[in-house]
Structure 1
Amino acid sequence: MLEPRMVKTVADAKKIVEQRGLSYIKVGLFDIDGVMRGKYMSKEKFFSSLECGFAFCDVILGWDSNDQLYDNTAYTGWHTGYPDAQVEIIPSSCRELPLEDNMLLFIAQFSDAAASICPKNVLNRVISQAKEMGFVANAAFEYEFFMFDETPESVREKNFKNLKPLTPGNFGYSILRNSTHADLYQQILQLGEAMDFPIEGLHAETGPGVLEAAINHDIAENAADKAALFKTFIKVWAQQNHLMATFMAKWSNKLPGQSGHIHISLKNLAGDSVFYDESKAFNMSELQSYFLAGQQKYMPEFLAMISPTVNSYSRMVPGLWAPLDATWGVENRTTALRLIPGTAKSQRIEYRLGAADANPYIALAAALGSGLLGIKEKLAPKAQVEGNAYEQKHHESLTLPPSLSEAAKKLKNSQAANKLFGKEFVEHFAQTRLWEEREYRKHVSDWELERYFEII
């Protein structure tokens, strides 16, 4: 009997469906915001789609996370009539769905013209460039997320205020918390094993109801799949258990934000680390130095891909563990890039700027692609930051855009981004971020009412 993660080919995918006697299969793909969209397919339709692909309305790439239609994008919009776009199913993505008895899940991606702006394909193109340069990229995602004793109905009834977190107070790395809620933790760990996003570490983080999960490393393409599935199905699992999980970058102005850190390392095609050199300071090879410098140089230009929502920038304030400039340091968690010295197996860079709300495919494309540019251009990083990066003055070139609109404009005008990710993607993505900022500006916040209503 085939197991889901043994599936590699179209023939394997058909075989496992037949072996399980399935009449329907679930197929999903990820939109611009990293939200999984999809449907159940009959066995007959699924088999046909495995061979020839299938058509999916291109509105998936033309609306925001609230299903509001973009009015400023060229690829899709009212002016195109929202036609179907071609989609291909990836047989090797087959997963068990333990939350649905005996159901299988497959990931799909846009092909043909839509591939140019499909997030998964954007990452694949960066990975292909790495291979052309003689490298295989490994990555791992870490996510902080808040868990609430709420439901989709209750949070709306409360207008998203005065929500009840799963646990009260600040209690990071708490054995008391993870023992008291051991069943919850065990279910999350088991879900990760069953769906092949195995969790290397899971613990309570500082803040009411905060958890942090470190997903096992893998080659870059698989790592992004695991991260995207983790975010989706942790939320599914929570709601099935009458809880809610959020990956907002910052849900409360009284609490720290939520990160989505990315660990990256490079190997050559023989499988040897190209980041490790024991003869150099911090075991940092020349190639790793170039890679780090590229990430540092292009971080301000690529920021919209790493911090893609208005809310992302609420997290980037002094003293709350989110970097404010494109800095780097050795084992320094106040910098945007943390060099982690280790062995040939563990030498890596942690891209700490990332927030939990980023699309994993797009964020990893930015973090990896910028490093590859550093190698191509043989860049040298700015001086290492020692001590508290928040309290120091840094080179003006390292200043990060302070808002989504500024970040989107910087990305749109970036020659490096257009060349690396493709003009179609950069134009489309930047426009979607400008839309997001414009939608936000239509909103009158509680802060504005409290500040201006009577006094002004």
Structure 2
Amino acid sequence: MTYTKETIKQEIKEQGVEFLRLEFTDMLGDTKNVELPAAEIDSVLEEEAMFDSSSITGFSDIQESDMYLVPDLDTFKVLPISVTDDHIARFICDIYKPDGTPFEGDPRYILKRAMKEAEEMGYTVNVGPEPEFFLFKLNDEGYPVRKMNDRGGYFDASPIDKGDKVRRDIVRTLKDYGFEMEASHHEVAQGQHEINFRFDNMLKTADNIQTFKGVVKDIATNHDYHATFMPKPIAGENGSGMHCHLSLFTDNGSAFYDENGKDELSSTMKHFIAGILHHASGITAITNPCVNSFKRLVPGYEAPVSVAWSHSNRSCMIRVPTTRGNGTRFEVRNPDPTANPYLALAVLIQAGLEGIRNKLAPGEPEGRNLYEVTDDSVPTLPTNLKEAIKALKKDEVLIKALGNHTSKVYIEEKEQEWTNYSLQVTQWEVEEYMNK
């Protein structure tokens, strides 16, 4: 539905909305919000809602703290009763500076800039994400404990799968938000789940990912569980990924499909894939943004470690499903759901467009099980956050995609995260070395 200021005010009145939630995303991918009484709707719609951004990670210094929350009218939604008993409407907002220009550190603006570059080259980009999550039990005080909600496995059914009712409530709530739902099921690991929703353009998809994560956590809490998108919460179990299916379109249809091309894939698609592979190490700093991310990217747990592409080989970073025609797409398998979706999609798209501009070649698709390849014939993804950040610092295309402000602050933040992690003494170290 397309909203106008008048239709929004009318719906607020008809549904008895009492509060307005103005949502935005910080540099690290966390959803933030400011809540106002519904009586302030005129001020919100006239873009007069101001907030102090000095304490938001990746935003402004204390001397430049005033920012404006500018609502995207298309994101207006009265929150479903399953999320809150209160009468609340939300907007997803863009961040603007007092001089009326977009804030260069706003992740949503960074993605919009990538979309504009694609449009200038004649393309629109659709993305279909597959975010996975775990459900853990809560203790008597309402805090999560390291006990999974079930012992189920891939596609298991009730009663082994004890998350089916949680997933159904999540699906119902997401439908109330306007999502087009596709499938939900138990994943490979115990207590792990996946819910899929339909692809959309880059911006809508990134907004949907943020809404999805919030709904999952809210509904899990309603069932006395804690939902986590942590990539590898349990050693020895598969981790949670967020595979991203990308497709490129022109006015004539799919830019990835060529009925006369090898395997019916266009040269544009191969250039796009090659661009992502070429920048893979730096991309990983954004798509796999935390120390824990790299404990998922190891052989043997269905997560990719090799910088290669294939048709059906899931040991590669990129896989091309068999669908052709307008459904022609490829799946980037390394991202995880802790990534800021706006930044992750921005760097993937900018890398792909760079591949098209420079007509990069991805090489031949891999048919080998790359988990079993022990030589250096296939490059691998970084093995830790430090390596990924080092690669990002050297990648001029990705630095430009993020912008000077965000790239500088992001790198500083992640280098500090690595330092903090390096100073820790883990239980494994104690058990391994105490008696040496």
Q: TM-score range by the shorter chain?
A: over 0.9
Question: Which of 12, 24, 49 matches 1:17?
Answer: 12
**Structure 1's 60 and 234: CA in aligned 2 closer, same or farther, altered over 3 A?**
farther
AA partner of residue 415 (structure 1): E
Q: Which residue of 2 aligns with 1:176?
A: 158
Q: Which residue of 1 aligns with 2:115?
A: 127
Q: Which residue of 2 aligns with 1:424?
A: 405
Q: Which residue of 2 aligns with 1:106?
A: 91
Aligned runs of 1:301-450 on 2, under 5 Å? 301-392=282-373, 398-450=379-431
Q: Distance in 1 between matches of 2:49 and 2:160?
A: 44
Q: Give CA deviations for 1:179-227 in whole Å, capped at 9, x if unaligned.
A: 8654333212101101133331100111211111122111111111111
- Decide whether the 8 Å contact of 1:322 with 1:334 is kept in 2: yes
Aligned runs of 1:226-237 on 2, under 5 Å? 226-237=208-219
Question: Which of 152, 176, 184 matches 1:202?
Answer: 184
Matched position secondary structure for 2:150: coil
Matched position secondary structure for 2:249: strand
Q: Which residue of 2 aligns with 1:71?
A: none
Q: Distance in 2 between matches of 1:8 and 1:378?
A: 41
Question: Which of 139, 142, 145 matches 2:130?
Answer: 142
Q: Which residue of 2 aligns with 1:281?
A: 262
Matched position secondary structure for 1:91: strand
For the aligned residues, what is the CA RMSD? 2.2
- Decide whether the 8 Å contact of 2:158 with 2:164 is kept in 1: no
Matched position secondary structure for 1:88: strand
Alpha-carbon shift at residue 82 of structure 1 (Å) = 6.8
AA partner of residue 366 (structure 2): V
Question: Which of 156, 165, 168 matches 2:148?
Answer: 165
**Structure 1's 357 and 30: CA in aligned 2 closer, same or farther, altered over 3 A?**
same
Alpha-carbon shift at residue 155 of structure 1 (Å) = 4.1
**Structure 1's 397 and 125: CA in aligned 2 closer, same or farther, altered over 3 A?**
farther
Matched position secondary structure for 2:408: helix
Q: Give CA deviations for 1:356-392 in whole Å, capped at 9, x if unaligned.
A: 2211111111222211111111110033110312222
AA partner of residue 172 (structure 2): Q
- Decide whether the 8 Å contact of 2:49 with 2:69 is kept in 1: yes
- Decide whether the 8 Å contact of 1:35 with 1:232 is kept in 2: no
Q: Which residue of 2 aligns with 1:29?
A: 24
Q: Which residue of 1 aligns with 2:71?
A: 89
Aligned runs of 1:294-305 on 2, under 5 Å? 294-305=275-286
AA partner of residue 95 (structure 2): F
- Decide whether the 8 Å contact of 1:85 with 1:114 is kept in 2: no
Q: Percent identity?
A: 27
Count residues with an aligned counterpart.
430
Q: Distance in 2 between matches of 1:353 and 1:27?
A: 31
Matched position secondary structure for 1:90: strand
Alpha-carbon shift at residue 393 of structure 1 (Å) = 5.4
AA partner of residue 84 (structure 2): E
Q: Give CA deviations for 1:388-421 in whole Å, capped at 9, x if unaligned.
A: 1222257678332221122112212211112233
Q: Which residue of 2 aligns with 1:43?
A: 38
- Decide whether the 8 Å contact of 1:97 with 1:105 is kept in 2: yes
AA partner of residue 341 (structure 1): T
Alpha-carbon shift at residue 351 of structure 1 (Å) = 0.5
- Decide whether the 8 Å contact of 2:166 with 2:223 is kept in 1: no
Alpha-carbon shift at residue 172 of structure 1 (Å) = 0.8
Matched position secondary structure for 2:46: helix
Residue segments in structure 1 that go unaligned for 5+ positions in a row:
1-5, 64-74
Matched position secondary structure for 1:176: coil
Q: Distance in 2 between matches of 1:412 and 1:383?
A: 29
Q: Give CA deviations for 1:145-183 in whole Å, capped at 9, x if unaligned.
A: 111232594546xxx4xx322211x42112335886543
Q: Distance in 1 between matches of 2:275 and 2:159?
A: 40
Greater mean alpha carbon deviation, residues 411-420 or residues 304-313: 411-420
